[in-house]
């Protein structure tokens, strides 16, 4: 397997993405000198591995399908937004809205994720080894958000059917988000997600607490108006 | 004894507390919830009807009505897109979702628009195969909720419309009540069946024009810079929104006045937020002109467009095309008096039916009820829409020829006068019979 190397000190993001979209002959890519540029590896649609050596800007791996993207650095806003499948791994921290609206795949953040992590998530699995910021999992529809550290204020505000697992503290829960029993089935689910993230045996599922929707806001009722 | 009786004054109702206001107070007191409905504003507003064309005279030659060509084509997306789209007529179909509309209605919109060489637009909830299949030119909306958003459909689209707002509710999100969240609709939106579905009012991963510029660039990267990218705003601050959309890299700006419809939102939102289309076009055009981008970034306007005269007036004020939603639904069969008995059964009357969110539309358009939806024949309804679009285009051409124009885009503000001071000020054309434009010059 040959690796195609693209140096963003010499090539543009457009040239990189065009190559990633059209060159199906290379299944392993290395991107050098990303220097915080935006939209790196956006719109991938092949089971390739893309290793990015450095920090990336907004929307890295946006709408990813099938590909495995590794960022050796920090990521800007909207990391792996609307990801459909595949895997995105950031070794550093992620900025706001990581995994926003993502439908599938695995997003793994070794560091912390900022505000609105998993906002409107639609089926993705997100694992954050550090902590997450406020308003994370806002209107989260489906999927799992697993946090080994702490969660900021208003976790899971207006949440639908996504499942949230937090090992540390939760500053506060948002509207209609409640703590739920951590039954065996949930421990098994969590163990599976941790295993996929390479964390099997590294942490104890018994240390996590589960949060989800109370489903009281699923049908608008005037008696709930104070919740909004 | 005298036959004289003290005269009794005629009972007098308040102009402020009119029958509608009284009924709304009673309804609010009884239910404790605001009124939700579909459609656009129903109040009388300064409107395109307040403008007139001058036509040709000694100083201007008209074109022969049935002999001399008057072009109607529009190219959209020529600024950055590698594959701009060309419409044969300057009338497009506005974004309306599968979910708010039945699959049959969406198919009919596609059929009608395609027959006339123009575009349709998806809505909040994603793209259906039927819609793509029946729409020769399909604009894919990119909304805050991102319901149904996926890169495959993004690449199938002919253009992408980033929705910031809409005229019926600038600054508002959406609500699709549980009655319309069928199994298929729920599946497309990744939500449980039958729940009330909320649509966010803000995009989840960008805030402000600087972020929008990066977001647009991402969409271009994903689609390899092929697709025209529109930015749709509700008419509120049209000068600045237009300027910022241009700055953000939009190919096309869609400006929706407060007469524009919605599938469902609060009545108070529809009637009290945003500005009329008439007042919005000139500031938007001014922004484009100030930036040297008029006709380079195209402007599509919408909100209350009903006929070819409205089309011609919008184009004369500087728009490149118009978009219709409510009028298109009427062409399909919405609010048809032929169904009066069915509207009466719902406690309303043909022409006033606006409970589109309840999913009980007798015409089978704003519903997910299979039996009701089956009432709409997509081929027949599509034909009606095509007819209507043809008439609008012919009417716009008629006016353009009368003004001596060989293309509808050659219409200009100098062809117009206003009937009211308000319209003159908003449209920045003279009051009829004068050279006075309020707010302009030394008056």
**Which of A77, A219, A220 lies at the smallest CB-CB distance from B205?**
A77
Question: Is B196's pLDDT higher than 90?
Answer: no
The pLDDT score that the predictor gives to residue A226 is: 67
Distance of CA B184 to CAs A140, A178, B102, B134, B189, Å? Answer: 20, 29, 11, 19, 9
Query: Mean per-residue pLDDT for A3-20?
Result: 98
Residue B267 falls in which region: left (phi positive, over 0), alpha (psi -120 to 50) or beta: alpha
Q: At which residue do the structure tokens 């890299």 appear? A: B249
The pLDDT score that the predictor gives to residue A228 is: 60
The pLDDT score that the predictor gives to residue B191 is: 85
Q: What average pLDDT is seen over chain A?
A: 96
- For residue range B60-113, list pLDDT tens digits in order: 899 998 789 999 999 999 999 999 999 999 999 999 999 899 999 999 999 999
How many domains does one find in chain B? 1
**A86 Cβ contact list (under 8 Å, min separation 6):** A44, A47, A61, A64, A65, A66, A67, A68, A69, A105, A106
Is B441 contained in some domain? no
Distance of CA A192 to CAs A144, A157, B82, Å? Answer: 11, 25, 44
What ipTM does the predicted assembly reach?
0.96
- Collect all residues of chain B within an 8 Å Cβ-Cβ radius of residue A45: 151
Q: What average pLDDT is seen over chain B?
A: 94
Is B434 contained in some domain? no
Query: The domain that contains B223 carries what CATH number?
Result: 3.20.20.70
Query: Mean per-residue pLDDT for B292-319?
Result: 98
Of residues A227 and B208, the one with the higher pLDDT is B208
User: CB-based contact (8 Å) between A81 and chain B?
Assistant: yes
Is B96 contained in some domain? yes
A contact residues 35-54, partner B, Cβ 8 Å cutoff: 38-39, 42-43, 45
Inter-chain touch B195–A97, beta carbons under 8 Å: no
Give the minimum alpha-carbon distance from B9 to chain A in angstroms, rounded to a whole number: 43
User: CB-based contact (8 Å) between A66 and chain B?
Assistant: no
The pLDDT score that the predictor gives to residue A48 is: 97
Query: Mean per-residue pLDDT for A106-118?
Result: 98
- For residue range B49-72, list pLDDT tens digits in order: 999 999 998 988 999 987 899 999
Inter-chain touch A39–B218, beta carbons under 8 Å: yes
- For residue range B224-258, list pLDDT tens digits in order: 999 999 999 999 999 999 999 999 999 999 999 99
Integer Cα distance of A194 and A200 in angstroms = 6
Is B396 contained in some domain? yes
Inter-chain touch A141–B225, beta carbons under 8 Å: no
> Where is A6: in which H helix or E strand?
strand A3-7
What chain A holds in terms of domains, given with CATH numbers, is 3-227 (2.160.20.60)
At residue B266's C-alpha, the angle toward residues B262 and B271, to 5°, is 80
Integer Cα distance of B268 and B43 in angstroms = 12
The pLDDT score that the predictor gives to residue B1 is: 57
Is B239 contained in some domain? yes
Inter-chain touch A82–B146, beta carbons under 8 Å: yes
The pLDDT score that the predictor gives to residue B178 is: 75
A42 DSSP 8-state letter: T
The pLDDT score that the predictor gives to residue A94 is: 98
- For residue range A16-27, list pLDDT tens digits in order: 999 999 999 999
Is B136 contained in some domain? yes
Domain boundaries, position B242: 44-427
Per-residue confidence band for B6, with pLDDT thresholds at 50, 70 and 90: confident
Is B437 contained in some domain? no
User: CB-based contact (8 Å) between B221 and chain A?
Assistant: yes
**Which of A21, A62, A119 lies at the smallest CB-CB distance from B218?**
A62
């Amino acid at each position: 397997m040959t690796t195609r190397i693209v140096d963003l000190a010499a090539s543009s993001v457009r040239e990189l993405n065009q190559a990633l979209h059209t060159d199906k002959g290379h299944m392993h890519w290395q991107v050098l000198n990303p220097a915080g540029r935006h939209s790196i590896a956006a719109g991938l649609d092949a089971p390739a591995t893309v290793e990015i050596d450095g920090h990336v800007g907004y929307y890295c791996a946006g709408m990813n399908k099938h590909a495995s993207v590794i960022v050796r650095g920090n990521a800007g806003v909207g990391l792996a937004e609307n990801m459909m499948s595949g895997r995105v791994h950031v070794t550093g921290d992620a900025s706001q809205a990581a995994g926003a609206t993502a439908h599938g795949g695995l997003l793994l953040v070794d560091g912390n994720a900022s505000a609105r992590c998993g906002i409107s998530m639609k089926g993705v699995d997100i694992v954050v080894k550090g902590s997450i910021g406020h308003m994370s999992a806002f209107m989260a529809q489906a999927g799992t958000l697993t946090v080994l550290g702490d969660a900021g204020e208003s976790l899971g505000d207006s949440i639908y059917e996504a499942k949230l697992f937090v090992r540390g503290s939760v500053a506060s829960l948002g509207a209609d988000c409640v703590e739920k029993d951590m039954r065996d089935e949930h421990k098994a689910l969590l163990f599976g997600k941790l295993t996929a993230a390479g964390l099997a045996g590294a942490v104890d599922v018994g240390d996590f607490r589960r949060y989800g929707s109370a489903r009281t806001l699923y049908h608008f009722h005037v008696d709930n108006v104070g919740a909004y | 004894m005298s036959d004289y009786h003290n005269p009794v004054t005629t009972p007098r109702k308040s102009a402020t507390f009119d029958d509608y206001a009284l009924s709304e107070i009673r309804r609010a007191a009884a239910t404790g919830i605001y009124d939700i409905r579909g459609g656009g504003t129903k109040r009388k507003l300064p409107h395109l009807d307040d403008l007139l064309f001058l036509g040709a005279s000694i100083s201007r030659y008209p074109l022969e009505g049935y002999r001399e060509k008057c072009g109607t084509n529009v190219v959209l997306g020529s600024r950055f897109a590698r594959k701009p789209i060309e419409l044969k007529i300057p009338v497009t179909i506005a974004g309306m979702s599968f979910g708010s509309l039945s699959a049959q209605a969406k198919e009919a919109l596609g059929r009608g628009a395609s027959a006339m060489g123009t575009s349709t637009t998806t809505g909040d909830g994603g793209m259906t195969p039927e819609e793509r299949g029946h729409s020769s030119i399909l604009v894919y909306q990119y909304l805050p909720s991102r319901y149904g958003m996926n890169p495959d459909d993004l690449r199938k689209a002919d253009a992408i419309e980033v929705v910031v707002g809409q005229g019926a509710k600038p600054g508002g999100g959406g609500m699709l009540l549980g009655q319309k969240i069928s199994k298929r609709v729920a599946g497309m939106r990744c939500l449980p069946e039958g729940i009330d579905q909320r649509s966010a009012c803000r995009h989840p991963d960008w805030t402000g024009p600087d972020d929008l510029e990066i977001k647009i660039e991402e969409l271009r990267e994903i689609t390899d810079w092929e697709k025209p990218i529109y930015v749709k705003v509700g008419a509120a601050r049209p000068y600045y929104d237009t300027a910022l959309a241009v700055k953000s890299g939009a190919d096309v700006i869609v400006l929706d006045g407060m007469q524009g419809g919605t599938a469902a939102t609060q009545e108070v939102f529809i009637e009290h937020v945003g500005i009329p289309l008439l007042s919005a076009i000139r500031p938007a055009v001014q922004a484009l002109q100030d930036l040297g981008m008029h006709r380079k970034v195209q402007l599509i306007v919408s909100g209350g467009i009903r006929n070819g005269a409205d089309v011609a007036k919008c184009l004369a004020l500087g728009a490149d095309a118009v978009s219709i939603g409510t009028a298109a639904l009427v062409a399909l069969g919405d609010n048809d008096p032929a169904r009066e008995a069915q509207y009466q059964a719902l406690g309303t009357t043909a022409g006033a039916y606006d409970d589109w969110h309840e999913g009980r539309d007798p015409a089978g358009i704003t519903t997910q009820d299979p039996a009701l939806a089956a009432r709409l024949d997509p081929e027949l309804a599509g034909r009606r829409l095509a007819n209507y679009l043809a008439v609008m285009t012919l009417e716009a051409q008629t006016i353009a020829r009368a003004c001596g124009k060989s293309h509808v885009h050659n219409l200009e503000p100098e062809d117009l006068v206003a009937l009211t001071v308000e319209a003159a000020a908003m449209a920045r054309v003279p009051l009829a019979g004068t050279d006075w434009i309020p707010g302009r010059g030394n008056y």
